[in-house]
Amino acid sequence: MPEAPPPTIFERSVAGRRAGRLPGLDVPEAALDSLIPPELLRAEPPGLPEVSEPELVRHFTALSRRNFGVDNGFYPLGSCTMKHNPRINERAAALPGFRGLHPLQRPERAQGALRLMHELGSWLGEIAGLDAATLQPAAGAQGELTGLLLARAYHEERGEGARRTRVLIPDSAHGTNPASVTMAGYETVKVKGGEDGGVDLEDLRAKLDESVVCLMLTNPSTLGLFERDIVEIARLVHEVGGLLYYDGANLNAVMGISRPGDMGFDIVHFNLHKSFSTPHGGGGPGSGPVAVRAELEPYLPRPVVARDGDRYLLDDDRPRSIGKVRSFYGNVGMAVRAYAYIRTHGADGLREVSETAVLNANYLLARLRTLFTVPFDRLCMHECVLSARDLKRRTGVRALDVAKRLLDFGVHPPTVYFPLVVDEAIMIEPTETETLDTLDTFVAAMAQVVAEAEEDPERVTQAPWTTPVRRLDDARAVKRPVLRQPAGEAVGVGA
Amino acid sequence: MSTEAGAASGYLSITPDERARMLEAIGVPSIEALFRDVPEEVRLRRPLDLPPPMGEVELADHMAALAALNTDQDSELSFLGFGMYPHYVPAAVDALISRGEFMTAYTPYQPELSQGTLQAIFEFQTSICELTGMDVANASTYDGATAAAEGVLMACAQTGRTRALVPDAVHPEIRAVLATYVSGRDVELVPVPMVNGLTDPGAVEALLDADVACVLLQHPNALGLLEAAPRIGAACESAGAHLVASVDPLSLGILAPPSAYGAQIAAGEGQPLGNPASYGGPTFGFLACRTEYLRRMPGRLAGETVDVDGRRGFVLAFQTREQHIRREKATSNICTNHALNALAGVIYLSWLGKAGITEIGRLLVSRARYLRDRLALVPGVSIPFPGAHFKEIVVRLPEPAADLQAALQQDGINPGHPLGAHYPGMDDHIAIAVTERHPRAALDRLAQALEARYA
């Protein structure tokens, strides 16, 4: 039986306890209302928890024990690239010269950071096969918004801003793509997938005209399949004056093997927290640099890190820039980690990363194909998408149930129900950092779950059994929302 | 084409022998054959042009050498602020957020394995609601600027109005990001002039009409000064406009919360709460609102519920607002947020506690006032804005502020941030930030340096 849930930090609070001790007042004491107009003063202090440091440390340690990271075990969450997070990268980012560097420090006293940013930008450009890059976007979705605004600036300067309003997106795309299109003020037009899992060229041709801003594409697609018609797709989009946008979520498949710029893409966003190993932190921070062709460089967010001989500087005199998407220069701390990662690997190492990621995914596909339905019978790239459609028809066990039962095996389940174009989708991305033993253990767990589905489906449909909590009531969380500790309970209700 | 030797880095785990067995199981002769779907014309048939690889030992030295080219906040006596502050980060914060269970987890899409992250978000949301007086807080945004931008977009959507008043006294980074965020939308940003370093409440009242969705008020503002928040809040209310308040979370132990002066939305930069500056990020933004805004809130929300056995647990709630469900109809495109930085934030707030949040506010405002009074006595130095402040002050110098900065940095003092690049005519103005890490002796040292220079 799982342990009882820990109380919240507010429920641990006891009036009079505290962890932090601040310096005493070492300047002349003045009444607060002589420093601040009384109408601006707070009447009652906010009800923050009152705990001692031992309680604080125990509490958050207890919470961490109810969490699962890639440090804990296999995490084949498709589209999320949950690879190992090297610890040297953490140490590098924690060096005082990076961690304690103020963004407004004069550039001549931030040369190490600026050099790192400049080099990382040029390496990302080389990996993408493009000419210039910005590190400013805070995450992939912000990279998408940045890319769309760059496309708009490009079309506007060519006098085509008003007529280009539609962004084409395959039906298999990440949800952030259409959401970013809306943020940019454009209209999303869906392009159908073809029989082989790629873009349906007929449908694409039918939707291409001079109102198209760009086509946003993930390659390999969210089905884990390389777009074999990519050259023709690029030709068609460029023929009508549109741009080609590369969602870099799946870049881990092709580093050093094929470059988006060589495929014909004009704008690429990277997810440093996917391909370049920066930790996901339970949902962030990420980092979403964007690389572009030379024609789009003038529009990059300002400032741009520039080089003048041996000196690096922040160029803020960028009259054609789209402006800023985030304060200062982006998540530089994540750039430090990604820089260390690329520096560790070099060219051959990055290619081996992608080769191994693709090897591992194909191995799982080969071993799992008899257990589940394979919607597209091709070699996959860095991830494979299976379907529990037939399993469900036979046994009533759904992809969700398979995922929940896997929790009992100490495995984080694959992504399920995405991409939307595959019924009962199970999307598996093992990444390159796993051992063969881990892959085999996962296959054995999947086989056992399928066997249970046939023999004792309740074992699966009622899973998980061993996790700190079992299936949770999502509907209740919406019907009777409790999104914070009720105010009355917030302070001093005892541990 | 494929690498002959074994793993190029210690991060790969497949041996050459295992690789051969795996290829056999797949039924292909080589790694190369796995890439047969990649058309030859888009294959890269040369190595990437990257520097040669480094082992961990050389890399550690290389990174240290790069870091040593930067002057960090502890290598000089630094008064740099203007949006990021060298507050103390408690040791417990670093220790706890470094735990792999938190640091290496993904978004809590599988709640049964993610109760730690989800409960921490719930506690974070509660802490932000306590600070701001709002009803609902999200799990974090990228930074204070994007939080404010999302807040303005929420207000426009909720009121159905298209103009937002954005005072010049709002930090230039926030204004710049906001301008980009609304650039594709039917939203017009209307500047409000500054008088004595403060948003002119008369100008706000004059500009408020039936088309104005909201006023974005930063309080304390970019110059560290306290705005006439109650008067501006009241003006919004009578015009049917909403108030989006951008606030410093460390001020909220002593300053009235946004709810007290009528804000519907509160946003802010979370960096002061246990996050190092890291050359601008990652930190986190927080965004909180009144209940009526719940369904317009962007980003993730953790909610309490029960499992099938009746045990308390937490889930991501109201996901139907989010991009992975709603796609082009989502409230925002935000997906990744800054969960680990927000975790640092809630640990920091628990470390500080109810007494500490008030104490730190008193300490900061008292030290800043001491320094302001002290600098006012330096010959040639004046206080251009007489209003009340929080932890950052602006002084006017008898020379360009950049000159003072360059000179004092030679002696290990960074006197603050010159304002000329942000505000025309303020070349001789400097913003000086004070924290709990600036004892009286440090403040005196700055004052003495100015006295010596202007004697």
Which of A104, A142, A176, A269 is most worth mutating to test chain B (most B CB atoms within 10 A of its CB)?
A104
Query: Do the Cβ atoms of A110 and B71 come within 8 Å?
Result: yes
Mark out the alpha helices in B133-212 (DSSP H runs): 144-159, 172-181, 201-207
Q: What is the mean pLDDT of residues B89-97?
A: 98
| Least confident interval from A46-50, B36-40, B119-123, B317-321 | B317-321
Residue corresponding to tokens 């969450």: A77
* Locus of tokens 């707030």: B349
DSSP E strands in A149-233: the ranges are 166-170, 187-191, 212-217
CB neighbour burial string for A377-415, b if at least 16 within 10 angstroms, e if fewer: ebbbbbbbbbbbbebbeebebbbbbbbbbbbbbebbbbb
Looking at residue A355, the DSSP 8-state letter turns out to be H
* Percent of chain B clearing pLDDT 90 (strictly above): 93
Of A29, A69, A231, the CB nearest to B41: A231
- Nearest-10 crossing angle of helices A399-406, A436-455: 120
State residue A134 phi and psi, 5-degree precision: -120, 145
Residues of chain A found within 8 Å of residue B329, distances taken between Cβ atoms: 182
Pinpoint the alpha helices (H) of A327-465. 332-368, 389-395, 399-406, 436-455, 457-461
Q: Which two tokens stand for residue B112?
A: 């049964």
Please classify residue B31 by burial: count the beta carbons closer than 10 Å to its beta carbon, then call 0-12 exposed, 13-18 middle and 19+ buried: buried
Q: Which residue has the tokens 């914070």?
A: A484
Average pLDDT over residues B181-192: 95
Whether omega before B191 lies within 30 degrees of 0, making that bond cis, reads: no
Side-chain half-sphere CA neighbours of B365 within 13 A: 29
Alpha helices in B1-114 (DSSP H): 16-26, 31-34, 56-67, 91-97, 100-103
Interchain contact B142–A (C-beta under 8 A):
yes
Over its length of 495 residues, how does chain A's per-residue pLDDT go in tens digits? 456 789 999 999 999 999 999 999 999 999 999 999 999 999 999 999 999 999 999 999 999 999 999 999 999 999 999 999 999 999 999 999 999 999 999 999 999 999 999 999 999 999 999 999 999 999 999 999 999 999 999 999 999 999 999 999 999 898 999 999 999 999 999 999 988 889 999 999 999 999 999 999 999 999 999 999 999 999 999 999 999 999 999 999 999 999 999 999 999 999 999 999 999 999 999 999 999 999 999 999 999 999 999 999 999 999 999 999 999 999 999 999 999 999 999 999 999 999 999 999 999 999 999 999 999 999 999 999 999 999 999 999 999 999 999 999 999 999 999 999 999 999 999 999 999 999 999 999 999 999 999 999 999 999 999 999 999 999 999 999 999 999 765 444 333
Is a pLDDT exceeding 90 seen at residue B330?
no
Q: Looking at the complex, does the CB of residue B179 fall below 8 Å from at least one CB of chain A? A: yes
Chain A residues with CB inside 8 Å of B174's CB? 327
Query: Looking at the partner chain, which of A127, A228, A283 has a beta carbon nearest the beta carbon of B39?
Result: A228
**Gyration radius of chain A over CA positions:** 26
Pairwise CA distance, residues B252 & A406, whole Å: 45
The tokens for B118 are: 């989800």
pLDDT digits 0-9 by tens, B350-384: 999 999 999 999 999 999 999 999 999 999 999 99
Q: What is the pLDDT of residue B332?
A: 86
> With an 8 Å Cβ cutoff, is B307 touching chain A?
yes
Report the residue count for chain B.
455
Statement: residue B6 has pLDDT above 90: no
- Put simply, the chain B residues between 234 and 293 with a CB less than 8 A from any chain A CB are 252-257, 260, 269, 276-282, 284
DSSP-derived pairing of the beta strands A132-134 and A290-292: antiparallel
- pLDDT band of residue B8 (cuts 50, 70, 90) is low
Q: B5: pLDDT confidence band, cut at 50, 70 and 90?
A: very low
Strand-pair partners of A307: A312
Chain A CB within 8 Å of residue B36 CB: yes
Q: Which residues of B touch A483 (CB under 8 A)?
A: 122, 125, 136-137, 294, 301-304, 317
A440 CB-side CA count, 13 A: 8
CB contact under 8 A, A181 and B328: yes
**pLDDT tens track for B385-436:** 999 999 999 999 999 999 999 999 999 999 999 999 999 999 999 999 999 9
CA-based radius of gyration for chain B = 26
Q: Which whole number is the average pLDDT over B54-66?
A: 97
Q: For chain B, how long is the longest CA-to-CA vector?
A: 83
Q: Select from B444, B427, B328, B428 the least CA-distant residue to B382.
A: B428
CB contact under 8 A, B9 and A328: no
- In a 13 Å sphere around the CA of B288, the CA atoms on its Cβ side amount to 30
- What's the pLDDT at B334? 85
